[in-house]
Chains A and B, each alone.
Chain A
Amino acid sequence: MYFNSLSDFINMGGHGLYVWSSYALTLVLLLSSVLLPWLNLKRTRKQLSRQLAREAARTK
């Protein structure tokens, strides 16, 4: 560990706000760029299989 204490770590020698805001923004964007496509994939699967079931019901 490079820092001596937790408050040192958070403060980052006065640059804390810059460092933490950059990392927070990046984390949110990175997580959403896998979370949103994942939810979309699940939704697409569900939508298509419902559509398929409707078609099957119609042809019966």
Chain B
Amino acid sequence: MWNWLKTLYHRLGSPKWFYQITGKWLPWFAMSSLLLLGLGLVLGLAYAPMDYQQGNSFRIMYIHVPAAFLAQSVYMMMAAAGVVLLVWKMKMADVVAQALAPIGAIMTFISLVTGAIWGMPTWGTWWMWDARLTSMLILFFLYLGVMALREALSPQEVAAKACALLAIVGVINIPIIKYSVDWWYTLHQPASIKLTEKPAMPASMYLPLLFMVLGFYALLGWSVLLRARAEVLRREAKSGWVRELLKDK
């Protein structure tokens, strides 16, 4: 297992191998995301029973929770890629980090907006400077900051290192998001589902959520691979394998 991971790591470090293998992975990510999202959408919107306290507005959960979950998860991936870049100087890690930032920002945006829409019928307000809401807004600005930094700096190596550094420093916000609902309980409810415990809701309610989370992850992979492949081609435009690849097109 360890050796297999090591081989995979070294191969993924090669732009050519990355481009080839991700071409094979793409249809799988695409198909599974469409399938899972379609299933989750139909089950969540039409089949899950209504929440007796919140009514049907609780169905927003099926997009709000996966988006908020991925917003944080993508940020940690981006920071991990930053560590790989700074410590092991693996250039492909920066390509992945660059591809992760926009989708992370989109996920954060979705969670903020759907949260606001959900807040209106549930809390009677779109927005409050609640700790969870505020720390998610900070996460959104961190993503925008990383993207702006990349645009602003050149050469590419300098921008890559600066983005990695900002991403790593910003990780401090992740535990703040996680524990904000326990430390400052003003508006947002604490987590009602934990990975380690059996959920306190019927399967017809949590299965759609599970499908949606998996579907969001598959779509994340799909989106990141598409962006990373384009970036690999741009960065490697001068190399032999890209010339070879594009010659017969």
**Which residues of A line the B interface, CB within 8 A?**
1-3, 9, 12-16, 18-19, 21-23, 25-26, 29-30, 33-34, 37-38, 40-41, 44-46, 48-49, 51-52
A residues in contact with B50, CB < 8 Å: 2, 13
> Do the beta carbons of A23 and B46 come within 8 Å of each other?
no
A19, A26, A38, A40: the one contacting B67 at CB < 8 Å is A26
> Do the beta carbons of B103 and A13 come within 8 Å of each other?
no
Complex Cα–Cα for A12 and B210 (A): 22
What number of A-B contacts does a CB cutoff of 8 Å give?
Answer: 104
> Do the beta carbons of A9 and B46 come within 8 Å of each other?
yes
CB distance from A51 to the nearest CB of B (A): 7
User: At the interface, is chain B mostly helix, strand, loop or mixed?
Assistant: helix
**Which residues of B line the A interface, CB within 8 A?**
30, 37, 41, 45-50, 55-57, 59-60, 63-64, 67, 102-103, 106, 109-110, 113-114, 117-118, 120-121, 216, 219, 222-223, 226-227, 229-230, 233-234, 237, 242-243, 246-247, 249
CB distance from A40 to the nearest CB of B (A): 5
Assuming the contacts A13-B55, A18-B57, A33-B219, asked whether A45 and B249 have C-beta atoms less than 8 A apart, the reply is yes
B residues in contact with A44, CB < 8 Å: 230, 233-234
Complex Cα–Cα for A15 and B227 (A): 37
Complex Cα–Cα for A23 and B243 (A): 43
A residues in contact with B249, CB < 8 Å: 45-46, 49
> Do the beta carbons of B56 and A33 come within 8 Å of each other?
no
Complex Cα–Cα for A37 and B221 (A): 12
Assuming the contacts A12-B56, A12-B59, A22-B64, asked whether A2 and B233 have C-beta atoms less than 8 A apart, the reply is no
B residues in contact with A22, CB < 8 Å: 60, 63-64, 113-114, 117-118
CB distance from B123 to the nearest CB of A (A): 12
B residues in contact with A40, CB < 8 Å: 226-227, 230
> Do the beta carbons of B60 and A18 come within 8 Å of each other?
yes
3 shortest interchain CB distances as A-B pairs: A37-B226, A12-B56, A49-B246
Closest to A43 in B: B230
Complex Cα–Cα for A30 and B64 (A): 13
CB distance from A23 to the nearest CB of B (A): 6
> Do the beta carbons of B226 and A45 come within 8 Å of each other?
no
> Do the beta carbons of A2 and B49 come within 8 Å of each other?
yes
A13, A25, A45, A52: the one contacting B113 at CB < 8 Å is A25
